[in-house]
Amino acid sequence: MSLGSAFFISEFGYDASLIAGLMAMPQWNIYFGNPSGSQLGNITASLYFPTLVLLPVISYLNDQFGRRVAIAVASSCIVFGAFIGCFAQNVAMMIAGRVIVGCGAYALPVSCLCLINEILHPRLRGIASALFTPNYSIGSIVASWFTFGTITWQSEWSWRLPLLFQALGPTFLLFGVIFMPESPRWLISQGRDAQALAILAKYHANGDRTDELVANEMLEIKSHIKAEGEVSTSWGALVKTPGNRRRMVVVTTVAAGAILNGSTILNVYLAPALRLVGVVDPSQLAGINGGMSIFSWVVAIAGALSVDSLGRRPLWLISTSSMFLTFAAMTGVAAGFTKTGDPSYGIAFIVMIFLSQGCYMFAWNPLSYSYPAECLTFTIRAKALAWFAWVQAACLVFSLYVNPIALEILGWKYYGVYVAVLGVLLLLIWRLFVETRGATIEQISVIFDYHCLGRQRSIDTLADEPEII
């Protein structure tokens, strides 16, 4: 299961760095007529168009057919779309391939996150689920150095081969899903308690169905699902109670913040951003992209391994406040280069980009998927994560379309917009985000459902719950 999830999120990171690498390739730019502005925005944003209309389908697949079926369907879409993109003859065909890939690109994290959080051992869930997203950087590393290696090829396969390679991860995932266990929480919700018990015993107690941990988990899961089942599970349930409304504000903040905090400038539009400070050589652009991918992966792993020692809330605050400072510095450095043309400003800008990316990867990477998933109750998890995917896709479409246009028109001044956004995100995190370290996903619901009693009362209530270790 973990290997399969790693294949998925690596694929997601592969696409982001793949597009950044293609933008640095003269062969790709010449073949498609040097796309820029709105046309470039359409190419990059097309991956996320399908999610804007597939919100109900994503939830339906997960709730009605289970997590494994949803993973298989989404993986198939990505494989088919990758082949269309590889053999694209024009911009329209390139966009069509990315749209088909997009049909699975955001359905897959919803299914994988549901499965991971619903099956992992309580003691391992925090770090293991946080390690889910850093695999994004593995895909990013592969894509950035793949395109670096083919950038000197004179044939069309310099860009077609990296696009074809995009199908590799989902192909493995299609075969791997056969061997994955289904979510025991989903099985219990379908009345298949015996199968759920067998899975919990196998993965949490070495096959011992009488183990105390397994017995406590079964009791806790069944009681929570029964209680949640007495409440409406329609889309309106997402905002029906104060606890759910707070959950949805947190989910929406993370989904939008992960995109609008400047990460798309640092990842997808790295090449255009570097050209603003005088870095124009294709090999240099590809090399910086590859170096940043490796650096990002190291920092993301460090952040993921810190979720239980430092806690989720401190990680969020450290990461976002540091991004605020580095983006402010990056804005000043870019302004200095524009006014003077001094190459030293270009070097400083590269340093600031690496620092900003490191700050982002420390918390926003490992927590942006795992934190919302663990804050949600079972009955709304698939719907809420589908909403998460929709918000993120909408923000990505907006950001990927607007960024190249804004960079052309505003230049370095555009970075100031992200400084303001980061300031708002920092305030929201301080006010709304709670600590979830050390609790099961059922126990975490207490913090949100009793938030009106105050944070300390919520924690006291949580402490009264039976401990599962």
Decide if 192 contacts 83 (C-beta within 8 A). no
Domains of the chain: 2-463 (1.20.1250.20)
Q: 5-9, 62-66, 359-363, 437-441: lowest mean pLDDT where?
A: 5-9
Q: What burial letters (b/e) apply to 327-365, b meaning 16+ CB within 10 Å?
A: bbbbbbbbbbbeeeeeeebbebbbebbbbbbbbbbbbbb
Spatial distance between the Cα atoms of 430 and 451, rounded to a whole number of angstroms = 15
CB-based contacts of 325, cutoff 8 Å, min separation 6: none
What confidence tens digit (pLDDT) does each residue in 306-327 have? 888 888 999 999 999 999 999 9
SS3 208: coil
Percent of the chain with pLDDT over 90: 15
Q: What's the pLDDT at 108?
A: 81
Which residue, chain included where needed, has tokens 């985000």? 433
Report pLDDT for 229.
60
Please report the pLDDT score of residue 313 as a whole number. Answer: 92
pLDDT at 447 over 50: yes
Contact status, residue 226 vs residue 382, Cβ threshold 8 Å: no
Please tell me which residue, 12 or 116, carries the higher pLDDT value. 116
* Predicted structure pTM score: 0.69
Task: State yes or no: pLDDT of 427 exceeds 90.
Answer: yes
In the prediction, which pLDDT does 11 show?
Answer: 57
Q: What is the pLDDT of residue 268?
A: 63
pLDDT-derived band at 426 (thresholds 50, 70, 90) equals very high
Q: Sign (positive/negative) of CA torsion 97, 99, 104, 105?
A: positive
What lies within 8 Å, CB to CB, of 454 at 6+ separation is: none
Which residue's structure tokens are 């490191």?
358
Structure tokens belonging to residue 422? 């980061």
Using pLDDT thresholds of 50, 70 and 90, give the confidence band for residue 12: low
pLDDT digits (tens, 9 = 90+) for 326-384: 999 988 888 887 788 777 877 888 888 889 989 999 999 889 888 988 888 877 887 88
The whole-number pLDDT of residue 316 equals 95
DSSP string covering 264-304: HHHTTTHHHHHHTTT---HHHHHHHHHHHHHHHHHHHHHHH
- Judged against a pLDDT cut of 80, whether residue 271 lies above it is answered with no
Per DSSP, 25 falls in state: -
Q: What is the largest CA-CA distance in the chain?
A: 73
Give residue 251's pLDDT band: very low, low, confident or very high (50, 70, 90). very high
| pLDDT tops 70 at residue 13 | no
Q: Residue type at 340? A: T
Of 34 and 87, which is predicted with more confidence? 87
Per-residue pLDDT at 32: 86
How far, rounded to the nearest angstrom, does the alpha carbon of residue 143 sit from its chain's CA centroid? Answer: 17
